[in-house]
């Protein structure tokens, strides 16, 4: 079984946050991180993803997102990365950001993603790919492997079938 989007992960977390070890949901929002919650008496940050490899999108600073800096003048000092386009200049402290160079393309990424938990349907990234960047993440919580979620999804499927309703949340594209 697979789910269609991140919103279903948010829905499942909202239903089962206590069973997943969280005491309270403090806030949900549309920007990173998606959620603030309480776990073991401490406030924690959570990002929801359908699949864990999408989390890497949050390594790029906003605004602007520099994925391909062709046409920009990119330079470095000991302390910062400098990006110039015409008279527009942005600086990124090296204490927080890294510059990646591949052929003629540049990318600026956050060194360490400031996040406590990633709640996702499926963990599909290679942990060694982002070892440094994900070093502060305490756990990737994979909902598709949690028995309580599996049981809920089976009962949900049976209930919808009995009603003759197509399950749009888990339907393959």
Residue 169 domain-assigned (yes or no): no
| pLDDT for residue 64 | 46
How many domains does the chain contain in total?
A: 1
pLDDT (tens place) for every residue of the chain, 173 residues total: 678 889 999 999 999 999 999 999 999 999 889 999 999 999 999 999 999 988 888 887 654 445 556 677 888 899 999 888 888 888 999 988 888 776 667 778 888 888 999 999 999 887 777 778 888 999 999 999 999 999 999 999 999 999 999 888 886 65
Residue 63 domain-assigned (yes or no): no
Residue 82 domain-assigned (yes or no): no
Q: Which residue segment(s) compose the domain that 44 sits in?
A: 6-57+113-163
| pLDDT for residue 103 | 67
79 secondary structure, DSSP code: S
The strands making up 24-28's β-sheet, listed across from edge to edge, are 24-28, 35-39, 42-51, 117-122, 139-142
What percent of the chain stands above pLDDT 70? 89
pTM: 0.80
Residue 12 domain-assigned (yes or no): yes
Residue 73 domain-assigned (yes or no): no
- Tell whether the torsion through CA atoms of 171, 57, 64 and 46 is positive or negative: positive
Nearest Cα to Cα of residue 92 among 72, 73, 77: 77
Instruction: Give the integer Cα–Cα distance in Å for 137 and 135.
Output: 6
Residue 65 domain-assigned (yes or no): no
Decide: 157 and 170 in contact? Cβ < 8 Å: yes
Residue 168 domain-assigned (yes or no): no
């Amino acid at each position: 079984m697979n789910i269609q989007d991140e919103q279903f992960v948010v829905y499942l977390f909202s239903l089962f946050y206590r069973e997943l070890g969280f005491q309270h949901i403090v806030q949900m929002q549309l920007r990173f991180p998606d959620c603030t919650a309480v776990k073991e008496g401490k406030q924690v940050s959570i990002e929801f993803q359908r699949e864990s490899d999408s989390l890497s999108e949050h390594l790029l600073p906003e605004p602007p997102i520099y994925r391909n800096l062709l046409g920009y003048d990119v330079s470095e000092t000991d302390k910062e990365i400098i990006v110039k386009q015409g008279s527009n200049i942005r600086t990124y402290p090296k204490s927080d950001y890294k510059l990646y160079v591949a052929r003629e393309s540049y990318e600026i990424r956050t060194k360490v993603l400031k996040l406590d938990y990633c709640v996702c349907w499926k963990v599909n990234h290679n942990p060694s790919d982002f070892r440094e960047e994900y070093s502060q993440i305490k756990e990737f919580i994979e909902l598709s492997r949690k028995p309580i979620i599996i049981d809920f999804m089976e009962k949900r499927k049976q209930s919808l079938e009995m009603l003759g309703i197509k399950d749009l949340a888990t339907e393959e594209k």
